Amino acid sequence: MFLSRYLIATALLGGCLSQLSAGQALRHPDGDNVMLAVRNQSMPEELGRGRIAKILERYYVDGLGGRENWDAVESLRVVGELTLEEGALELQAFQKKPNFIKIIISNSPRSSLVLSYDGETAWQQASNAEAPVRMTEVEARRFIHSSVFGNHLLFPFQEGKTIELIDTVPIEGVICHHIRVSLDSEFQVDYYIDIRTYREVKVVNTDLQSGFETAINYEDYHVEMGVPIATSVASFEDGKQVSMLKLNEVRFNTGVMPWMFSMPK
């Protein structure tokens, strides 16, 4: 869920391409003539027919708290400990709908790294740098992909997005619905949703341009304002764990403003 982008951020400088397989694609009853108002809905009431539509409807309710709770959420602030091979770091992150994100990673009051995206510019600044700099094209592409508030299962009829049910499979000892989202940005996101709780167990992000792949496992869900959030998140690259994030504070709607994400001049 939300936490995938915080772990992706730690791998910005870093798989193999997943093989495409036939599945049941989500399709609106109006076919390709979906109204703009429907494309702009995070959780459309009409998802069409078929198993994938029923799974998504259940996921929106049990996995994300339902339309009413989701619509009441505008922003998110989290604080936690990010553990890497080199040691533990403090992480503080802010998000605001639709795709504003700012992450501050530090190992002391005087040593930190800021990563941010304001909807237009992806930038970063180290505490020992005189000024912020724009991320490289590769860094920005991955960071912007990770900036979406919530996840890519929302706004299912958005232009440039295809959602399909691949299979029902065992993952991490849990039987899961395997749902694949293909984006015109050339990213592929595979979600593994617990068939009992409808919460995310694992998410695999694949950059189809480079083959770079990050797998993220979610545990220890906490419910805030009716929305479940995993507070223990492990990130893997090529099957090897590269980080663990433990959250100790999760708060919605704390007065986060758009200007907070802008690149300082």
Q: What pLDDT, on the 0 to 100 scale, is given for residue 158? A: 94
CB contact set of 263 (below 8 Å; sequence gap of 6+): 116, 118, 121, 123, 132, 134
CATH of domain 4-160+219-261: 2.50.20
pLDDT band with cut points at 50, 70 and 90 for residue 7? low
Residue 66: predicted pLDDT: 98
pLDDT of res. 4: 54
pLDDT at 21: 40
Tell me: the pLDDT tens digits for 183-212? 999 999 999 999 999 999 999 999 999 999
pLDDT at 136: 96
Where does residue 250 rank: exposed (0-12), middle (13-18), buried (19+ CB within 10 A)?
Answer: buried
Ordered by start, the domain boundaries in the chain are 4-160+219-261
Task: Supply 219's token pair.
Answer: 């545990």
**What is the chain's mean pLDDT, rounded?**
90
Sign of the alpha-carbon dihedral angle for 203, 204, 209, 212: positive
Give residue-wise pLDDT tens across range 45-57: 999 889 999 999 9
pLDDT band at 9 (very low <50, low <70, confident <90, very high): low
Cα(191)–Cα(186) distance, integer angstroms: 16
Phi-psi region of 160 (alpha: psi -120 to 50; beta: other; left: phi over 0): left
**27-31, 57-61, 253-257, 261-265: segment of lowest average pLDDT:** 27-31
Banded model confidence at residue 13, pLDDT cuts 50, 70, 90? very low
pLDDT tens per residue, range 228-258: 999 999 999 988 999 999 999 999 999 999 9
What are 52-111's pLDDT values in tens digits? 999 999 999 999 999 999 999 999 999 999 999 989 999 999 999 999 999 999 997 778
Average pLDDT of the segment spanning 210-224: 96
Q: What pLDDT score was predicted for residue 111?
A: 87
- Cα torsion at 3, 137, 89, 77 (round to 10°)? -40
Query: Residue 167: what pLDDT?
Result: 96
Question: Of 198, 136, 123, 157, whose CA–CA distance to 42 is shortest?
Answer: 157
pLDDT value at position 24?
Answer: 87
Q: Report, as an integer, the average pLDDT of 223-229.
A: 97
**Percent of residues, the chain, with pLDDT higher than 70:** 91
